[in-house]
């Protein structure tokens, strides 16, 4: 199976979006409204620490989501705003964060069910919108969604995509890595 050719066909089908719908500024503002707080802002302004009585909080300077996760979450929220009336699915949790996934659930974004590790795509219909999570989806899943004529919103982190692309490239050249101790 030539996964690159399959992905290329899907990406150029007119039913695939990897860029989102809003500008980076709008995206950052919307995400900030959902996941920023006055307390965190105060702690950051106070050299990443906070003391109140016996309570002492030290906040990591890199506190928050990495840029790939921020992008994925923001794109998922944008997708609901862009498709306010459509059925929206995710092939898996958008990221491994219950708060974010619960927020999307309250926005009526559904996760495709799985039993014994096998996803059940039978509820997904033609014209539905399907979000691929930050850590990606298999080519087989993408192909199935494409055949069902779904709108595919790919939030896969570009760094994750780069790893998947490298693995595919090495598979074609029969590159194998062996560990020896």
Give residue 161's domain range: 3-172
Looking at the domain assignment, is residue 35 inside a domain?
A: yes
Give the CATH number for residue 7.
Answer: 3.40.50.11270
Report if residue 177 sits inside a domain: no
Predicted TM-score (pTM) of this structure? 0.82
CA distances from 145 to 81, 90, 95, 122 (A): 21, 11, 20, 11
> Who has greater pLDDT, 96 or 165?
96
Answer for the pair 131, 150: CB distance below 8 angstroms, yes or no: no
Is 26 inside any structural domain? Answer: yes
Any domain includes 180: no
**Tens digits of residue pLDDT in 7-66:** 889 999 999 999 999 888 887 777 777 777 788 888 889 999 999 999 999 998 887 788
- The pLDDT-based confidence of 177 (bands split at 50, 70, 90) is low
DSSP state of 89: E
Is 146 in contact with 134 (CB distance < 8 Å)? no
pLDDT single digits (tens) 113-127? 999 989 999 999 999
Which candidate, 131, 137, 147, places its Cα nearest to that of 13? Answer: 147
Residue 45 lies in a domain: yes
At which residue do the structure tokens 């199976």 appear?
1
Residue 54 lies in a domain: yes
- Say if 179 falls within a structural domain: no
- Dihedral, CA atoms, 45, 51, 57, 63, nearest 10 degrees? -10
Q: Residue 130 pairs with which residues in a beta bridge?
A: 89, 152
Split into its structural domains, the chain has a count of 1
Q: Rounded to an integer, what distance in angstroms lies between the CA atom of residue 49 and that of residue 84? A: 40
In a domain, 121, yes or no: yes
């Amino acid at each position: 199976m030539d996964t690159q050719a399959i992905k290329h066909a899907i990406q150029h089908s007119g039913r695939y979006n990897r860029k989102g719908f809003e500008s980076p500024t709008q995206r950052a503002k919307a995400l900030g409204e959902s996941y920023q707080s006055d307390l965190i802002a105060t702690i950051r302004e106070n050299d990443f620490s906070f003391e109140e009585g016996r309570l002492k909080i030290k906040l990591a300077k890199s506190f928050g989501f990495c840029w790939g996760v921020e992008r994925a979450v923001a794109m998922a929220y944008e997708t609901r705003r862009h498709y306010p009336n459509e059925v929206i699915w995710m092939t898996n949790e958008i990221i491994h964060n219950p708060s974010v996934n619960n927020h999307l659930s309250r926005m009526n974004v559904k996760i495709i069910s799985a039993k014994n590790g096998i996803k059940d795509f039978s509820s997904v219909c033609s014209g539905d919108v399907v979000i691929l999570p930050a850590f990606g989806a298999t080519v087989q899943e993408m192909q199935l969604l494409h055949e069902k004529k779904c709108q595919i919103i790919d939030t896969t982190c570009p760094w994750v995509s780069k790893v998947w692309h490298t693995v595919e490239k090495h598979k074609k050249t029969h590159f194998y890595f062996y560990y020896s101790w």
